[in-house]
Chain A
């Protein structure tokens, strides 16, 4: 990275060229106070706290460091009396109408207004209390309180809402000193991500579920990883008295979990955590006595399970027992379960549960592991191809990164999808395809001469596909993000992209990028948030001059031109795959097949953490009947689910908050999940339970009851894990697991293309291409994926006090 020399307070230092002065100062150990400046948001220069003096004969005024790019030889003063006076004055202004009700404010203790006042303000106020204008606190959404009087109008919240989430659900209304954070009619309709609340530097926006619950300094904050979608956001779990109270990506003082998601978190990771303490959590083992499940001691339950499994095994052989795990269980659990299956049960049938509409990882990894892209790769891509799925719905962080890449780095976004997504607004080309035809795009990409055929199959214009293909050809780094819509041969054939659409020369790539930026019709220099150029047909894309996320670092890029993000479904689907929790590789049965074979080959099932009855869309009754036919059923669960009710033995296990171990996201990054509270009741981690059952069945894994030994076993035996340890991961954060690239020489290309051709041919052309409405609420599909959690979380469906709704929509209107 190119650097320039600048002088700050008489000292010569260096800083990356074009870096904002405020960041350059911070890099050199000089913190400038600020409210409106925020990493990753467009500059605004409204709070006027960051003023500095820049020696410039042309401009005698103080300058805002948050908008000034550094240039060679710049001479800056940040600590004169003059500047200190201005800062103190700005703080005094901001406090003038502030109620100074810190004792009853949830933000106190992690409030930037407190901090800045303490650091840069004065210990007096000249504004008389009786002159303050009163605005009452009000609830403005199911999850948000707003106290306008505490507001410093930094507009971080509104920018986050627009730039990160593309929602524009919250904005400023009125003008002058009446400016308020509000929205149409005063009630905010959004996906409830809560990011606006997290970035708020003061107590203006507050989380409803956390209101008056705890003082921040009473919270123990444990960095851990979210357990829901496959993006794997880091978060700080705030706990008090062994209860998990809140999760944030970033607390009010700017402390973050330091993960791949920076300051981002979605509604699910934030507002569901209370399920952990639901009264219905299983707190002790249960054994079936006739019709009923009755509490038992661990010893009884373990012995009963072990001896019964041994019996089945002795009677019908190991392959009469199937093992199903939930994809959200940690690597350590999956690994122990797999060993349990092969060594103790001696069965080939061990698989993590997959819905019909999940990505077929076996096909994708058939010839090896293509480069997997992380969120940072997405954010730094030149082009992004999204096939199927809707990250906005199912992988909110991925959606955030896509928008980021488009907005901040002028990445080109191409979408091929049968159902419309809100991300279309950022797309350069968005192809609405016939349902079930998305695979055809791979055919068209690999072979230019097949574009017309693919277009016919997809019900799309050949020209658009041609333009899309050209776009990918010209682009430097391309990230392909895909959902389960890619199937079979198309999925396998992704490995060929690298060869067929080879990397363009640097000049071609640069020229293409330039042309693209030009086509956006945006003057790159003209975009602070007051200045969103809107000439484009598409008002939802614009770019900012200076990317703000990768401050001081070179952009992260993959070595290959193409890298992939398989949008797998659960938090550790990828990990479960890597741990070999897959029958496909051993010739065993898939989970669904096991369930269907009950009454046939399968006599007993061992199910860890999956409610297979509830998951069976519409066929719940059928699955229930199947399970009833079993000779023996063991279930490890947090709750007495529909599946657990049918079990002969139920073991209570820990939730994500109580478990510790590692988990792998869709970017193949392994992350360390920290225990933030002790186990609820007698619950034990999943791996420990199977370990104990195995021991009673006479098999010893040699873990000596220690988690770190399980991981040692993993790092010794699983590809890509060599040299890793819990300690290392806890310190390093997300670490990508790299496995061997596909060996192209082993692919029978002719055969593969032939199969792909057949696949395209078979697409049902009678299905019409339909435009559905975009779901209003982002992430609603995501919520449906976790019936267990959404059922047991009260946070996620806040009881809206009728009165609150009746009172709220009285927007303050100006002038009166």
Chain B
């Protein structure tokens, strides 16, 4: 399931810790890269690889919000909804994207490209409002810059 280069990465990560299971969070990112979400097979494989039990992996995956156990779009549009961003209009941002893409919060566009979610504070409060697309930050966004960002992804 894992490519050789990923296996090497995994070995390197595991070597950082005295116990293998400490590598679970970084390892899950690698797993998630492949399909965009954590599959059943990923969980079974990582359990074996990191000396964990399947349920120990499952409980970890479902605890952290950055992992998904369900398929999501290629681009995960994450609008920060927390207080500083809200003060500067996060709600309008969400609404704008929602209207533009024709998909509601938490949904994925039919073409499977975009998933729109609200997330809690992204640590960019002074650069609010902020949108994170997968791992990329876009700060001080407004409707125009938003349109450009989304166009750029198409």
Say whether A184 contacts B43, CB under 8 Å.
yes
**In the bound complex, how far is the Cα of B59 from the Cα of A183, in angstroms?**
8
Q: Among the listed stretches A97-105, A170-178, A523-531, A756-764, which one makes contact with chain B, having 4 or more residues with CB under 8 Å of it? A: A170-178
Chain A residues positioned under 8 Å from B117 (CB to CB): 815
Chain A residues positioned under 8 Å from B70 (CB to CB): 813
User: Which residue from A170, A171, A535, A811 sits with its C-beta under 8 Å from B18?
Assistant: A535
Interface string of A152-185 (1 = CB under 8 A from B): 0000000000000000111111110000000111
Say whether B18 contacts A168, CB under 8 Å.
no
Which range holds the interface residue count of chain A? 10 to 19
**In the bound complex, how far is the Cα of B17 from the Cα of A509, in angstroms?**
34
Q: Which residue of A lies closest to B53 (CB)?
A: A168
**In the bound complex, how far is the Cα of B54 from the Cα of A200, in angstroms?**
23
Within 8 A of A (CB), among B62-85: 62-63, 65, 68-70
Interface string of B33-61 (1 = CB under 8 A from A): 00000001001000000011111111100
Interface residue count for B (Cβ, 8 Å)? 22
Say whether A185 contacts B40, CB under 8 Å.
yes
Say whether A173 contacts B19, CB under 8 Å.
no
**In the bound complex, how far is the Cα of B51 from the Cα of A539, in angstroms?**
8
Known A184-B54, A811-B69; contact A171-B21, beta-carbon cutoff 8 A: no
Known A170-B55, A813-B70, A815-B117; contact A175-B62, beta-carbon cutoff 8 A: yes
Judged by DSSP, the binding face of A is: loop
A816 part of interface (Cβ distance < 8 Å)? yes
Say whether B62 contacts A813, CB under 8 Å.
yes
B123 part of interface (Cβ distance < 8 Å)? no
User: Which residue from A168, A174, A811, A814 sits with its C-beta under 8 Å from B56?
Assistant: A168
Say whether B63 contacts A175, CB under 8 Å.
yes
A505 part of interface (Cβ distance < 8 Å)? no
Say whether A171 contacts B69, CB under 8 Å.
no
**In the bound complex, how far is the Cα of B19 from the Cα of A387, in angstroms?**
31
Say whether A171 contacts B19, CB under 8 Å.
no
B106 part of interface (Cβ distance < 8 Å)? yes
Chain B residues positioned under 8 Å from A560 (CB to CB): none
Say whether B63 contacts A174, CB under 8 Å.
yes
Say whether B69 contacts A813, CB under 8 Å.
yes
**In the bound complex, how far is the Cα of B43 from the Cα of A175, in angstroms?**
18
Q: Which residue of B lies closest to A536 (CB)?
A: B19
**In the bound complex, how far is the Cα of B40 from the Cα of A462, in angstroms?**
43
Chain B residues positioned under 8 Å from A816 (CB to CB): 106
A79 part of interface (Cβ distance < 8 Å)? no
**In the bound complex, how far is the Cα of B65 from the Cα of A175, in angstroms?**
9
Chain B residues positioned under 8 Å from A173 (CB to CB): 58-59, 62-63
**In the bound complex, how far is the Cα of B62 from the Cα of A811, in angstroms?**
10
Chain A residues positioned under 8 Å from B69 (CB to CB): 811, 813
Query: Can you identify 9 A-B contacts, CB atoms within 8 angstroms?
Result: A169-B55, A173-B62, A183-B55, A184-B55, A535-B19, A811-B69, A813-B68, A813-B69, A815-B65
Binding site for A on B (CB under 8 A): 18-19, 21, 40, 43, 51-59, 62-63, 65, 68-70, 106, 117
Q: Which 5 A-B pairs have the closest CB atoms?
A: A173-B62, A184-B58, A171-B55, A168-B53, A184-B54
